[in-house]
Amino acid sequence: MDAADAAQIRGALVRLRRTTGLPVAFGGLVESGRRQVRISELSGTATTALSALAVTAGNGLGGRAVALSRPCAVTDYSVSRQISHEYDLPVAAEGLRSVLAVPVVVRRRVRGVLYGALRTAQPLGDRTLGAAVAAARDAEQALVLRDEAGELLAAAAPAAGAADGAAWERVREAHAALRALAPRITDPAQRDELLRACGLLAAGDGPVPGPRPAPREVDVLACVAAGATNGEAAERLGVSAETVKSYLRSAMRKLGARTRTEAVASARRSGWLP
């Protein structure tokens, strides 16, 4: 199991409890190569009855959510006719009655399931279900960003060891895309990890004396180095074109450059761009 992916599920469960008011939340990831969810994250539980439980697609409430790729809920788990009852014992051991299950779907594939539950049998309204779905969507977005970053790094790694110009252009394009992606990652540790990876791609002669460009200024320089116009850089970075111009002017001043081309060349010599 990917520890970073599990951390996203854990964070989503914390949000689910906070926004829905449900006292119990649990969930896990779909195991690689298998159509089952392994419950690994527990929040608000009183026992370990659900820990490490393997829920097969189509079975129980979570398995139904996986099979249908949509949220499912029951008012009283033990007597519901909407689901099969392979998991009644661990659910009863935890004392759960009303339960919802929301799939975490990334690129049309279910990657995990979030559950929320009450220990009383009462309907879970649309507002509660909507808040649970929003927590799942946050997890989906974070997983998409991680996937995109991994794909960019994988594409750049072979090219980084090659000497030809076309290969280095691929590295530079990947570096620019990763720099643009980093601000969208909300987890500080993961964002720092991605930026460190960017640094490995930008191996140069080392920093030169003088002011260092700010992170957003490096982001703009990376876009410029990849051939982006100010408007295109603004779209990639989620800022205005005027903001891009401001960052670029500041970076040029710090690097002692008179043109965009000089700024990129100086940033490459300093090891801030590949």
79: domain CATH number? 3.30.450.40
Q: Are 117 and 24 in contact (CB under 8 A)?
A: yes
- What is the value of pTM for the model shown? 0.66
Q: Could you give the angle at the alpha carbon of 184 between the alpha carbons of 179 and 187, nearest 5°?
A: 105
Domains: count for the chain: 2
Same domain (yes/no): 196, 77: no
224 and 254 belong to one structural domain: yes
pLDDT in tens, 102-144: 999 998 899 999 999 999 999 999 999 999 999 999 888 888 8
In a domain, 150, yes or no: no
Closest C-alpha to 35, from 65, 5, 73: 65
- Degrees to nearest 5, angle at CA 87 with 82 and 93: 120
Residue 274 lies in a domain: no
Task: Kindly state whether residues 115 and 219 are assigned to the same domain.
Answer: no
- Do 17 and 122 lie in one domain? The reply is yes
Q: Which range is least confidently modeled, 76-80, 164-168, 210-214?
A: 164-168
Residue 247, classified by CB atoms within 10 Å of its CB into exposed (0-12), middle (13-18) or buried (19+), is: buried
Sorting pLDDT into bands at 50, 70 and 90, what band is 213? confident
The two structure tokens encoding residue 152: 């960019």
- Same domain for 104 and 207? no
- Is the confidence at residue 207, as pLDDT, over 80? no
Which residue range(s) make up the domain with 216? 161-269
